Structure 1
Amino acid sequence: MKKRLLYIFLIPLFFKGFTQDLKKDSITTNKLNEVVVTAQFEPQSLKKSVHNVRVITNNDLKKLAANNLSDVLNQYLNITIVPSSGTGRSTVSMFGLDGSYFKILVDNIPIVSDNSLGNNIDLTQINLDDIEQIEIIEGSMGVTHGAGAVTGILNIITKKNSQNEWEISASVQEETVGKEYAVFNKGKHIQTVKVSNKINDNWFGSIGVNRNDFKGYLDTRKGENHTESDGKRGYTWLPKLQYFTNGMLSYKKNAFRAFYKFDYLNENIDYYNPTLLVIANPPFGANTFAKDKRYKTARFYHHLNSVGTLFSLKYNVSISHQKQSRETEDFIYNFQNNNEEGNSTTTNQSAEVLYSTGTISNFFKNKKADLQIGYELVNNLGHALVNGENQSLILVRKRFENYDFFIASEIKATKKLLVRTGIRASIQSKFDNQTASSIGLRYLFENNIEVRSSMGKSFRVPTFEELYSKIKFSGHQFYGNENLVPEQSTSYDFNLKKTAFLSSQLKMSNQVSSAFLNVDDRIDMAFVGFETGTTDPIYQYININSYKMWNVSTTHQLHYKNWNFSTGLIYVGISQVIDNGEAKSDDRFLYNLQLNGSLSYEVPKSNIQFSAYYKFNGKQQQFISSVENNETVYKLSEIDNYSFLDASVRKFFYKKQLEINLGARNLLNVTNANQGTIAGAHSNSSTILLGYGRSYFIKIAYNLNY
C-alpha cells in the first residue's frame, strides 16, 4: 500500500513536466564539469557553492586508469582505504571513523549494501564506466542527506547526455598483481563495452557491460590445485570475478529533465581452504578433499528521477528500488575427480530498499532569498543469519522505516555574503525520532578570495550487525543490542581559498581549512558480565564511547600552460575514550600527518599525457587492548608510515579514437605496515596488510564518436 501511495504522489509531477512549455534550462549536461550539484538548491558553479566541494573529474579517472572507487580515493587526503585480503572488500575511513559515518551516493541516491544504505559500501563494487564526475563534501551533512552523513558524503554524478549522435567505446586492461601475471590464470583482466545514442534532441540512451577478473594474489600460497597438507593451499588475497551491467534512458525538453537508470552487479569470491582432508581408499590409495566456499553478491539498482517546474516552483524528485544480497556456497572439492560435491547455498545477509527523496524550491521571485523543502522516505527490509544456541543459525528479518522532512533557506544578505540554514526531522520506526541542523556562510572578498564556514549536527543509527549479531566461540560471547540509541555528532568547518591569475597561462589556487568533529554516544563492543554459572565473558554493543577530532589542512594547485601541479597537507588530532567495561583508555589526542601531490603534463602535438600521484601516510597511533597479569589493559600502539606512488603515460592515436595507457601502481612496493605497542621500543608487533606490491598495467581503449 505504501508503494502505491508513493507512485500516486510522483505520477502528477512527471506528467506535468512533459506538458509544460518552459524556458530552456541554462545549465546543460555537457557543462556538468563546470558546476556542482551535491547539496545545492540547483546546479551552480563551484565558486557560488556554500559548501567546500572537492571535484574529481572524468579525466582524472582516466589518467589513473581506475576501475573501481578504491583506486581513486587512495590518493586523496583525509581518506584512508581499508582493504581486506580475506573478504576482498575495501571500505573508506575518514578522520579515524569507518564507513558507517561516511555516505556514498549515485546521482544523490545512497547505495545499498548488505546491511545498510549509503554506508559501509565496498568500494570495489562501484564501477566507474559511466561517471561524469565525483563530488566530495566533508563534515556533517545530516540536513540534506540524513542518517550516516557524519564525516561527509561522496556523490557520483553519471553521464546523461552527449554531444555526439553515437558514442561506442571498448577497452581491455591487463594488470599484474604484484609480480604475478599470466594471460589466463594470474593478474587482473578487465574488459568494458559501452554504447550511447543521442536518439534525438530530447532522448538519450546508453548501455554498458564491464567484466573485472581478479585472479587473486598467491604471495607465499600455492593456489587451489595444491594438494600437500602444509597449509599453503589457496591465496593471500582471494580471487574475485565481477560483472557490472548498466543502462540509462533520459529525456530533456526545455527545463524538464527525467531519467531512468539501471545497474546490476554480480560478484563471486572464491575461498580455497588450506586444510585438506585425506581419506584412505584402499586399494586405490587415498582421496583428498577440501571444504571450500564461494561468496556471492548480487545487487540490483533502479533509479527514476524527474526535474522540472510546477506552478513556478522547481522540483527534483527521485524514487529508487535497490536490493543487495550476500550468499555463501559451501561445497567439497574432490581432487581425484576435479569436481565439486554437495553444493549448498545460504543467504547470509540481504537488504531490500524502497527509497524516495524530493525537493521543492524557488518560492520567492526575489532572488535574494530562496527556500527549499524536501523529504526522504526509506523502507528497508533487512535479512541476516546470526549464531544461535548449539552452533545453530537463526534468521533475523527486520524492517526499518524512516520518514524525513527538511527545510533549508538561502539568503543573499549582500552580493558577497550567502547564508544557508537548515533543519531536518526524522521519524524513525525503530528508534526515537531524530533531528539534524546546520548553518553555513560563504563570503566572496575582492581579489578572488573565498571564505566558507559551517556548523552541522547529524546522527548515525545503529547497523543491523550492532543490533542483532550473535557470535559465540571458545567460551566468548559477542552480542548485538536492540536497545542501542543513535549516535549524535557536531562538526565545525572553516575554509579560506585564494585564486590568482598571474598571467593568461598561469593560474594558482591556495586553500587553508580547519575542522572539528565531536561524536557522542558512540557505539562499541564492551564487557557486560559473565554467563550465568560460568566464567565465560559476555561482550555486547553499547553506547559508551566518545570521540573528538580536529584538523588543519592546506592544498595548493598550479596550472601553467600544459602543466598541472597540486600538493596538500593535513594534520589530524583524534581523541577517543574506549571503554570495554573491563578497561578504559585515556582521552589524549593522537596525531597523524598526511601529504599528497600530483603532477601531469600534456604534449598537444604528440597527444601524450604524463601523470604521477603521490601520497604519504604518517605514523598513526591508537589504543589497543591486551591482557597483562590476567587483566585487560589499553596500550598505545603505533602504525609505521607508508607511501603510495602511481604513474602513467597516456597516448592518443587516430584523432583520439584510440588510446593506450601504460602505468604502474604502488611504485614504492608497499605490502604492509608494522604495528607495535609503544614501550621504549616496539614490542608485540604485527603487520597490517595494505596491498600486494608494485603492479603494472596497460589499457587499450577505442572510442568511436560520430
Structure 2
Amino acid sequence: MKIKFTLFAVLLSSAYSFAQQRDTIKSQEKLSEVVVTGQFEPQSIKKSVFNVRVISNQDIKNLAANNLADVLNQYLNITVRPSGTTGRSTVSLFGLDAQYFKILVDNIPLVNEAGLGNNTDLSQINLNDVDHIEIVEGSMGVSYGANAVSGVLNIITKKSSKYKWDINASVQEETVGKEFSLFDKGRHIQSLRVAHSFDQNWFVSVGATRNDLQGFLNDRNGKNYLVSDFTRGYSWLPKEQLNGNALISYHKDNFRFFYKFEFLDEDVDYYNSTVQSNYSPTLGSYLYADDKRYFTNRYFHNLNLTGLMFSQLTYNVSVTQQKQQREIENFRYYLYTRTEGMNVSEKDQSMEVLSSTGTLNNFFNDKRIDLQIGYEFVNNKGFALVQKENNIITPVSKTLENYDFFVSSEIMATERFSIKPGLRFSAQSKFDNQYASSVALRYLFDKGLELRGSYGNGFRTPNFEELYANQIFDGHFFAGNENLIPETSTSYEASVKKYTSLSSGLQISNTFSGSYLDVDDRIDMAFIRNNPDTGTPENQYINISKYRMWNFSTMNQFRLNNLTVNVGAALVGVSQRIDNAIMVSDDRFLYTFNLNASFSYNIPKWKTIFSAYYKYNGQTQQFVAGTSEYVLSKIDPSNWLDASVRKNFFKDKFEVTLGARNIFNITDVNRTRSSEGAGHATASTTMLAYGRSYFLKLAYNLNL
C-alpha cells in the first residue's frame, strides 16, 4: 500500500508542476460521441483515457429493444444468461458472473433484491427514456467502488429536449417462438413518454411502459393441463412488468439539478409441473397443483446537483434512496374449477439503500491538469428468509455500511500524452478497510493513431447470500459465512485505435485490445467437516478459489455515406482453480472465441433504415464437480442474428419497425460432460432462448 501512495504522490506532484505553467493548449480535436463514465465531466470519447464502448439510441431503436437483455446479446465479451425457470436474465463478462459487473443509471448503482449494482436482472431494466449506454471493461474500483471488477455499464437517460413538447407513444407485438395471439400468447408492449420544456431552464418528463410476456409453452401444456405427466406449466415463465419514470430538471448557466424517480412492478407466475389428486367431502375428488407467484417492486429516487463553487471549482453531488423487494405468494390451484385457495404471501428478499456520492474538481486554471476528490456513503439494509435446521424458515435482516473517499488526477503531460492515476479508500462496517487504485494512460500519435493502457485493482464484497444464507435440512447443510473477506482483483488493459479517413469518403476505425484479470480469495461453497453427531457433510462459503483471465479482441467500423458496418472478434482464456476442500480442479486455461458483426444502411429518400446484428458465441468450457473429481463440461457454440427494417412516415411523426430476433432459431444448446476416469461423456441441454420471434413496433412521435 505504501507503494501505491508513493506512486500517487509522485504523479500528483508532477501534475502540480505542470499546473504552474500557464500555457494554453489549443485542441484541434472535433467532438464526436460524448461520454461520462469514468470522466471528471462529459467529454468526447477521443479525450477519454479509458476505452469506452457506446451503444447508441439508434442501435436500441434498430433492435426494437425494450429491456437491457434485448441489447446486450449482440456485444463482444458479454454473455446474457437467461433463466426460463426464474424469469431472470443476468450478465457475464469475461466468464465472471453478474456479481463482478456493475450496472449504473446516470452513474448511480441500481439496486436489486440481492445487491447494489451487481447481480442485476437485465429484463427489469427498461429502455424507454435511455439516451445511450456506455460500457467500460476492466477494474473501475477507483471511480465506482466495490464489485466493479470486470467492468461497468452506465445507462445515460434523457434529461433535455430541443422541442417544447416531445410526445412518444408506441405499441409493440412480438411472437415468442411460434406462439402468438393478441391476449394469451406472445409478448405485448405499450409505452408512453411525454416531455415538456417550459423555457430554456426547466424541463420535465414522465413515462410508463407495460411489458406483458405470456410465457413460452414449448413442450409444456399450460396452467390448466389435467394430466399428471409432468408437462403442465411453461418452459419460460409468464411475466408482466410495469415501469414508470419521472424527471424534473433545471439548468441555468453553470448550475444544474435534476430529480429522477423510477418504479418497477413485476409479477412472475410459476406453475408446478406436478399434478396431484385428492378427495374432500366438500369438493369430492379433485386435481390440484401447488403454484406460486413472485411479486417484485422497485423504487428509485435520485437527486443530483452540479455547479461551481468559488467561481472555479466544479461540484457534482447525488443523494439516492432505492428499494427493491420480492414477495412470494404460494397457493393451491384447483384444476377442475380453475380457482385458487390456501393463498399465503410473505416477503422473501429485499434490499434498501440510502447513499450519497459527490465529487469536486477543476482546482487549477491550467487545463492540462485536473484533480478530483470525492466520497461515497452507502447504508444498505438487506433482508432474506433462510432455511434453518428442521426446515424452519427464519428471517434475517442486516445493515451493511461503507464510507469511501477517493482522489484522482488527470494530467496532460504534453498535447499528446495524458495520464490518470487514482486511489480509493473504503471504510467498511462489516469487513476490513478496502483499497482500490488505478493508473490509465493515453498517447495520441500522428494520423489518427491512439494508444491506451491501464492498470487497476479492486475488490468484491461478499453478497447477502454468501454471508447469511442457510439451507439446513435432513442430510444437507449449506451455510453462509459471516467471516468471509472481500475478494481482491488486479487488471491490466492495453489498446490501439486507428482512425482513417479516405478521399472517397470512407471512414475507418480499427481497435485492437488486450487485457488480463486476476482474482484472489474467490468465494466458493466448500466442505468443512462431517457432523460428529449426525454424520451429515457440512458445506460453507469460504475464500478458497482463484480466477485468471486474458482477452484479445478487435473492433472495426467502416462508414461510407449512409452505410455503416461493424466487425469484431475476441479470444478469451479463463483459468479457474476451484477448491471445495475435498477436490481441486485443473487450473489450465480454457479458451472461447466470439465474433460479432452488424450493418446499417440508411436510404434518406425512403426514410428507411435496414439493419442486422450477428453474434457467434464459441464453445465454452468449464470444470464442474463430479462425484470424486472436477470434470470438464463443454457448451456447444451458437449463432444469433437479429434484423429489422425501420421506416418513417408523415414527416417523421409515425415510425414502423418490422423485424425478427434469433433468426437462426436457437432454443437449447448441448452441454457435454466428460465422465470420470473414462473416455465417455454424458450429454444434456441448456435452454438459451425461446426460438425465432418476429416483432412489429408502431411508434408515434409528436415534436412541437
TM-score (norm 2): 0.94
Kindly indicate whether residue 644 of structure 2 is the aligned counterpart of residue 634 of structure 1: no
Deviates more, 1:525-534 or 1:690-699: 525-534
Kindly indicate whether residue 374 of structure 2 is the aligned counterpart of residue 383 of structure 1: no
Shift in Å, 1:410: 1.0
* SS in structure 1 of the partner of residue 99 of structure 2: helix
Given residue 640 of structure 2, which amino acid in structure 1 is its aligned partner? F
CA distance in 2, matches of 1:451, 1:181: 50
CA distance in 1, matches of 2:55, 2:650: 27
Tell me what 1:265 maps to: 264
Asked if the contact 1:636–1:677 (Cα under 8 Å) also holds between the matched residues in 2, the reply is: yes
Tell me what 1:643 maps to: 639
Tell me what 1:17 maps to: none
In structure 2, the CA distance between the partners of 1:284 and 1:450, relative to structure 1 (3 Å rule), is closer
Q: Deviations over 1:46-82 (max 9, x none)?
A: 0000000000111110000001000100000010011
Gaps of 5+ in 2: 1-29
Tell me what 1:541 maps to: 541
Q: Deviations over 1:302-352 (max 9, x none)?
A: 000001001121000001000000110011122343322121111111011
Shift in Å, 1:645: 0.5
* SS in structure 2 of the partner of residue 147 of structure 1: coil
Q: Deviations over 1:551-595 (max 9, x none)?
A: 111111000111110000000111110111111112111100000
Correspondence list, 1:221-620, <5 A: 221-281=220-280, 286-311=285-310, 312-473=312-473, 475-503=475-503, 505-620=505-620
Shift in Å, 1:390: 1.2
Shift in Å, 1:280: 2.7
Q: Deviations over 1:175-228 (max 9, x none)?
A: 000011111100000000110001111000000010000000001110011122
Shift in Å, 1:281: 4.9
Shift in Å, 1:677: 2.3
Kindly indicate whether residue 71 of structure 2 is the aligned counterpart of residue 72 of structure 1: yes
Asked if the contact 2:32–2:44 (Cα under 8 Å) also holds between the matched residues in 1, the reply is: no
Tell me what 1:171 maps to: 170
Kindly indicate whether residue 104 of structure 2 is the aligned counterpart of residue 108 of structure 1: no
* SS in structure 2 of the partner of residue 419 of structure 1: strand
Correspondence list, 1:100-249, <5 A: 100-249=99-248
* SS in structure 1 of the partner of residue 53 of structure 2: strand
Shift in Å, 1:401: 0.4
Tell me what 2:9 maps to: none
Given residue 699 of structure 1, which amino acid in structure 2 is its aligned partner? K
* SS in structure 2 of the partner of residue 124 of structure 1: helix
In structure 2, the CA distance between the partners of 1:439 and 1:200, relative to structure 1 (3 Å rule), is same
From 656, 659, 666, the equivalent of 2:662 is: 666
Given residue 650 of structure 1, which amino acid in structure 2 is its aligned partner? R
Tell me what 1:695 maps to: 693
Given residue 414 of structure 1, which amino acid in structure 2 is its aligned partner? T
CA distance in 1, matches of 2:680, 2:417: 53
Deviates more, 1:597-606 or 1:469-478: 469-478
CA distance in 2, matches of 1:376, 1:581: 37
Given residue 684 of structure 1, which amino acid in structure 2 is its aligned partner? T
Asked if the contact 2:35–2:43 (Cα under 8 Å) also holds between the matched residues in 1, the reply is: yes
Kindly indicate whether residue 44 of structure 2 is the aligned counterpart of residue 45 of structure 1: yes
Q: Deviations over 1:681-705 (max 9, x none)?
A: 6611111110011111100001011
Shift in Å, 1:509: 0.4
CA distance in 2, matches of 1:264, 1:57: 24
Shift in Å, 1:667: 0.5
Q: Deviations over 1:594-636 (max 9, x none)?
A: 0000011111101111110100011111111111xxxx21111
Please report the RMSD computed on the Cα atoms of aligned residues, expressed in angstroms: 1.4
Shift in Å, 1:504: 6.0
CA distance in 2, matches of 1:285, 1:33: 73
CA distance in 2, matches of 1:34, 1:691: 33
Gaps of 5+ in 1: 1-30
* SS in structure 2 of the partner of residue 223 of structure 1: coil
Shift in Å, 1:275: 1.7
Shift in Å, 1:534: 2.6
* SS in structure 1 of the partner of residue 120 of structure 2: coil
Deviates more, 1:634-643 or 1:257-266: 634-643
Given residue 577 of structure 1, which amino acid in structure 2 is its aligned partner? R
Shift in Å, 1:44: 0.5
Asked if the contact 1:33–1:132 (Cα under 8 Å) also holds between the matched residues in 2, the reply is: no
Tell me what 1:5 maps to: none
* SS in structure 2 of the partner of residue 48 of structure 1: coil
Deviates more, 1:325-334 or 1:125-134: 325-334
Shift in Å, 1:422: 0.5
Q: Deviations over 1:221-268 (max 9, x none)?
A: 100111222211110110000000100000000111110000000000
Asked if the contact 1:676–1:682 (Cα under 8 Å) also holds between the matched residues in 2, the reply is: no
* SS in structure 2 of the partner of residue 60 of structure 1: helix
TM-score (norm 1): 0.94
- The share of aligned pairs that are identical, in percent, is 57
Asked if the contact 1:33–1:57 (Cα under 8 Å) also holds between the matched residues in 2, the reply is: no
Q: Deviations over 1:267-294 (max 9, x none)?
A: 0000111222322357975222221100
Kindly indicate whether residue 80 of structure 2 is the aligned counterpart of residue 84 of structure 1: no
Given residue 654 of structure 1, which amino acid in structure 2 is its aligned partner? F
Tell me what 2:58 maps to: 59
In structure 2, the CA distance between the partners of 1:32 and 1:219, relative to structure 1 (3 Å rule), is farther
Deviates more, 1:617-626 or 1:68-77: 617-626
Q: Deviations over 1:486-539 (max 9, x none)?
A: 000000000100000113631000000000000000101111111222332111
Kindly indicate whether residue 650 of structure 2 is the aligned counterpart of residue 654 of structure 1: yes
